[in-house]
Amino acid sequence: MAPPLLRLDDIQLTFGGTPLLAGASLSASAGDKIALVGRNGSGKSTLLKIAAGTVEPQDGLIFRQPGATIRYLAQAPDLEGYANVRAYVEAGLGPSDDPYRATYLIEHLDLTGDETPDTLSGGEARRAALARVLAPQPDILLLDEPTNHLDLTTIEWLEDELSRLSSAIILISHDRRFLERVTRATVWLDRGETKRLDRGFAHFEEWRDQVLAEEERDQHKLGRAIQREEHWMRYGVTARRKRNMRRVGELQAMRQQFRTHRGAEGTAALVASEAQESGKLVLEAKTIAKSYDGRPVVAGFSTRIQRGNRIGLVGPNGAGKTTLLRMLIGDLEPDSGSVRLGTNLEIATLDQRRASLDLNDTLSQYLTSGRGDSLTVNGEEKHVVSYMKDFLFKPEQARTPIKELSGGERARLILARVLARPANLLVLDEPTNDLDMETLDLLQELVAGFPGTVLLVSHDRDFLDRTVTSIIAPEGEGKWIEYAGGYQDMLAQRKADIAARSTIKAAGKPSSSTEAPSAAKPASANKKLSYKQKYALETLPKRMEEAQGAIAKLEKVMADPNLYAKDFAKFEKTAAQLDKVRADMAGMEDEWLELEMLREEIEG
């Protein structure tokens, strides 16, 4: 095993009351790709800050390899004091680092470098911060929610970039698919302690459930053992002149262990307040269009959304997802076309910017809108503390200012307020940001089972696949198309469409879907594929074929039912290789699709 570049042992930290970190450990060697997972408020970000050296623990050992470079991506990057993005990114380079790397990253993250900090959106600030920490290619890379505010194209690019790096990487993320494709080990921070699984995140949840089941069995056995010892204490010593003091001491120790055991964290109770059923037709849009500064954001889009539909909107940042969403629900007038809303609509909205938060409000004030200590949920009055418990907040947090909450706790608080409002149309703009896996699971179940209608903007591919009935995606020049199914279904339909158009073109036949030629060519007609893009298009099919062959060989090895028992090391190594090759294969397929679509657009 390679020597660690970073090692934390027995880390202790308490902010009053229950310890946040109680013996946590973390280590990383060159090439490690580690997912740091845990509940919101469990201390993941704090442990990462301790690794980065920005927070000091109260106790514990910290080792960082002398001379090793460390870069840390915080949840809220601070660009204050820098003239522009380029200055901010280049400030992260060391004396021996290649300045071209900064330019490469700025361009690939769709920035110019001339943007000033005060004009950046949340997504642009996140991309600038990513460029800064990736530019030096550090020995140790610590990433806290790197995919927040990123669009799907950038997330997929980041997956490939991180997979190629030789840096030791420790990352926190709520994006399941991102973690599955990037990581090869998982550290679970639970009740102040850490447990490590030397396999990627794809295997985490099954392992976690096994650990919790074993813990529950052990606690049950301990309770039974205490009962037996107490019986001996009461009746076994009546015929003896003196007690066995060793057994008395052991009983006291068992009682102490049983009393101080912190059970597994509970789960949030996400229930949406249901309003009166809406009409069958929720909304109808006819050839709606919207342009800004002469650039079409939406051009001639039409749709009919009926009660029970769950629609996902996807696309790059700036494509117009939020604009289209606002037009559909009547918050924004289209330049042309019309939107007709159905009857009996009760809309509950979760906005991307979390604009409803006043950080100086307490949790109680926010949930009740400052009106007393109770709120109405599903037609019943409920005390605010009782409602807070449903969302995993402690009673003493009722008077806590929102500014003291973690990012995940704030996201959970906003959900609590949105779901308390009676609604038959949920409008959710990036609802998964900052939520832990358990709360994401519950939100997924809520959305998938919601009896009303859902309009959802998200970059979380796994969440989309598990919840929506159709996807609306941009095709360029303001054109949007609706696809049946989830995100993977959309990709499959796009691939089939590209293949069909290629076949038609090869046969020399005009495509029935080709629009009438316009006097003005689209902007893409003047573009050309770069040398790198052409090379990728030529080589990707062969690389995918080789990867498929490698997957088949590894799956054949894993098919041996006795492999785990007779050669555990080989089982672990093969499983890790299989995870990596599958992740590489998925990345190559997505890259090929994107490049093929670009080529078709340019040549068409």
List phi, psi (to 5°) of 233: -60, -40
Residue 145 and residue 174 in contact, taking contact as beta carbons nearer than 8 Å: yes
Annotated binding site: 38-45, 315-322
Helix (H) or strand (E) holding 10: strand 4-13
Residue 601 and residue 524 in contact, taking contact as beta carbons nearer than 8 Å: yes
| 71's tokens | 């870069």
Q: List all residues 6 or more positions away from 180 whose beta carbon is below 8 Å from its beta carbon.
A: 200, 201, 202, 579, 583
DSSP H helix total and E strand total for the chain? 18, 20
The CA angle 261-266-270, to the nearest 5 degrees, is 175
What size, in residues, is the chain?
A: 604
Max CA distance (Å), the chain: 108
| 474's tokens | 């941009």
CA 472 to chain centre: 21
Partnered with residue 28 across adjacent β-strands are 6
Give CA–CA dist 382/384, Å, rounded.
6
Q: Which residue has the tokens 């009760």?
A: 346
Give CA–CA dist 329/344, Å, rounded.
13
Annotated binding site for ATP: 38-45, 315-322
Strand ranges (DSSP E) for 261-373? Answer: 281-292, 295-306, 310-313, 336-341, 347-350
Q: Which residue has the tokens 């979380």?
A: 460
Partnered with residue 197 across adjacent β-strands are 186
Residue 382 and residue 419 in contact, taking contact as beta carbons nearer than 8 Å: no
